[in-house]
């Protein structure tokens, strides 16, 4: 009999996960709070379920006799998934592991306890006042971030203490209990590491170079694979990442680690115990390595060993496109002809006719993206620039 997988989320970022289930011969049961989620069309079964509705989620799992549970880049379903796993016996993180991987202060404490190099930081709860004395042992600049948010929401670089008051209301608004973290600012280029842990053995799949907005925001505007790293740097990264994953007790899971390479070596920023966002594990990593991390996540959820063998080595680059802030979108013209070029892997315009182009302060405010591949780093950058201009021309502004 075919296995059934319960997929949490049917949005654009989950489509490759649903397709991967089909390719594996696994029946997909997809739940999403949006009744018009694009995954509805390709799922074997689709249900509109509020993200906090545990009762209905469990009823669906029982109705379909689900064999495993999985999600993509999303943090929000992790707690309800952990609860379901405990009650139904699915392969997934325990509630304690999910707490360590979603609460940035608990995560940082785990790193510090296990002597893992990371950004040092302080927790400030809802009613705690932040004053110069409370940061006397920290050196500016610092990073201000919510306790448990994602997608760069409410994250700012602070160059002088007075700037905190400008950003703290927004930062607190993205935290579940209004708590915030103030961390040391780590100097150095930023990377993400895509990995898979199966039966307590972690395999590094790919190294990703990040491109972010100018400060004070820290929004990711591009990702390049493979990152340009020396072998010694890769060895150092592998050691630190594997140690950090072990400290968080992540097992039988994909993961997405963010870090910087400093003068003292790699320092961990944070780890997501899930597939990464921005189409990194799906289109980007699949294009550069041939490793299908969506299939790996599904196989692990069903108790099977994933196939992590690299099939090729190419360069891939996803670029998020910026448009003139304050302009209004008049029309979105057809852009499917971009895919006639074999070097174009993926493209999507997020804004709609009538939208006002916002300032890019978090990932959700990026207007469009483009993903290309090439045989060299120079070629992949050149191709991205050419196709970006075409994609921009299809967004008419006034």
Residue 284 DSSP label? I
Query: CB of 119 within 8 A of CB of 269?
Result: yes
Residues 78-103: tens digit of each pLDDT: 999 999 999 999 999 999 999 999 99
Q: Is the peptide bond before 364 cis (omega within 30 degrees of 0)?
A: no
**Which of 241, 244, 237 lies closest to 265 in space, CA to CA?**
237
Bridge partners for 118 per DSSP: 268
**Which of 187, 183, 191 lies closest to 236 in space, CA to CA?**
191
Please compute, for residue 177, the number of CA atoms within 13 A of its CA located in the half-sphere on the CB side: 12
Residue 349 has pLDDT above 80, yes or no: yes
Residues with Cβ within 8 Å of 152's Cβ and at least 6 positions away in sequence, in order, are: 217, 218, 219, 220, 361, 362, 363
Residues with Cβ within 8 Å of 50's Cβ and at least 6 positions away in sequence, in order, are: 33, 56
pLDDT at residue 126, rounded to an integer: 86
Residues with Cβ within 8 Å of 352's Cβ and at least 6 positions away in sequence, in order, are: 329, 332
pLDDT at residue 216, rounded to an integer: 85
First CA to last CA across the chain, in angstroms?
Answer: 56
Alpha helices in the chain (DSSP H): 15-23, 54-63, 78-88, 95-102, 104-113, 164-173, 231-247, 285-289, 293-301, 377-393
Query: CB of 108 within 8 A of CB of 121?
Result: yes
Q: pTM for the complete prediction?
A: 0.92
pLDDT at residue 307, rounded to an integer: 97
* Cα 67 from Cα 76, distance rounded (Å): 21
Residues 252-285: tens digit of each pLDDT: 999 999 999 999 999 999 999 999 999 999 999 9
Helix (H) or strand (E) holding 11: none
- H/E/C letters for each residue in 15-64? HHHHHHHHHCCCEEEEEECCCCCHHHCCCCEEEECCCCCHHHHHHHHHHC
**Which of 67, 2, 58 lies closest to 31 in space, CA to CA?**
58
Helix (H) or strand (E) holding 249: none
* Cα 200 from Cα 246, distance rounded (Å): 8
All domains of the chain, ordered by start, with CATH?
4-92 (3.40.50.20), 94-117+187-313 (3.30.470.20), 120-184 (3.30.1490.20), 315-398 (3.30.470.20)
pLDDT at residue 127, rounded to an integer: 81
Which whole number is the average pLDDT over 118-123? 90
pLDDT at residue 149, rounded to an integer: 78
List the strands of the sheet with 180-184, edge to edge.
121-124, 180-184, 142-146, 156-158
Residues with Cβ within 8 Å of 51's Cβ and at least 6 positions away in sequence, in order, are: 33, 76, 77, 80
* Cα 340 from Cα 271, distance rounded (Å): 37
Residue 153 has pLDDT above 80, yes or no: yes
* Cα 296 from Cα 255, distance rounded (Å): 11
pLDDT at residue 266, rounded to an integer: 97
Residues 312-333: tens digit of each pLDDT: 999 999 999 999 999 999 999 9
């Amino acid at each position: 009999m075919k296995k059934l997988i319960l997929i949490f989320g049917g949005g654009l970022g989950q489509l490759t996960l649903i397709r991967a289930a089909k390719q594996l011969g696994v029946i997909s049961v997809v739940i999403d709070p949006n009744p018009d989620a694009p995954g509805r069309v390709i799922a074997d079964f689709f249900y509109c379920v509020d993200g906090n509705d545990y009762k209905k989620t469990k009823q669906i799992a029982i109705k379909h006799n689900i064999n495993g549970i999985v999600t993509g880049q999303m943090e929000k379903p992790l707690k309800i998934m952990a609860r379901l796993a405990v009650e139904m016996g699915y392969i997934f993180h325990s509630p304690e592991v999910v707490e360590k991987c979603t609460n940035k202060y608990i995560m940082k404490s785990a790193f510090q306890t296990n002597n893992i190099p990371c950004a040092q930081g302080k927790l400030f709860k809802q009613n705690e006042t932040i004053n110069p004395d409370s940061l006397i042992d920290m050196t500016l600049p610092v990073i201000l971030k919510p306790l448990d948010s994602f997608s760069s929401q409410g994250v700012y670089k602070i160059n002088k203490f007075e700037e905190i008051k400008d950003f703290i209301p927004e930062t607190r608004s993205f935290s579940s209990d209004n708590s915030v973290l103030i961390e040391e600012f780590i100097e150095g280029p930023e990377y993400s590491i895509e990995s898979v842990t199966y039966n307590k053995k972690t395999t590094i799949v790919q190294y990703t170079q990040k491109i972010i907005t100018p400060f004070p925001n820290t929004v990711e505007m591009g990702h390049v694979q493979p990152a340009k790293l020396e072998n010694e740097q890769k060895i150092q990264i592998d050691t630190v990442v594997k140690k950090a994953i072990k400290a968080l007790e992540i097992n039988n899971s994909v993961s997405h680690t963010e870090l910087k390479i400093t003068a003292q070596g790699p320092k961990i920023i944070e780890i997501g115990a899930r597939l990464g966002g921005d189409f990194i594990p799906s289109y980007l990593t699949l294009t550069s390595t041939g490793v299908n991390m969506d299939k790996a996540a599904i196989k692990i959820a069903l108790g099977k060993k994933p196939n992590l063998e690299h099939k090729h080595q190419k360069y891939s680059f996803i670029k998020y496109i910026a448009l003139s802030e304050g302009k209004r979108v008049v029309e979105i013209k057809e852009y499917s002809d971009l895919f006639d070029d074999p070097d174009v892997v993926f493209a999507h315009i997020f804004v709609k006719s009538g939208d006002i182009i916002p300032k890019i302060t978090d990932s959700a405010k990026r207007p469009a993206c483009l993903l290309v591949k090439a045989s060299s780093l120079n070629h992949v950058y050149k191709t991205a620039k050419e196709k970006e201009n075409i994609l921009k021309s299809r967004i008419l502004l006034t």
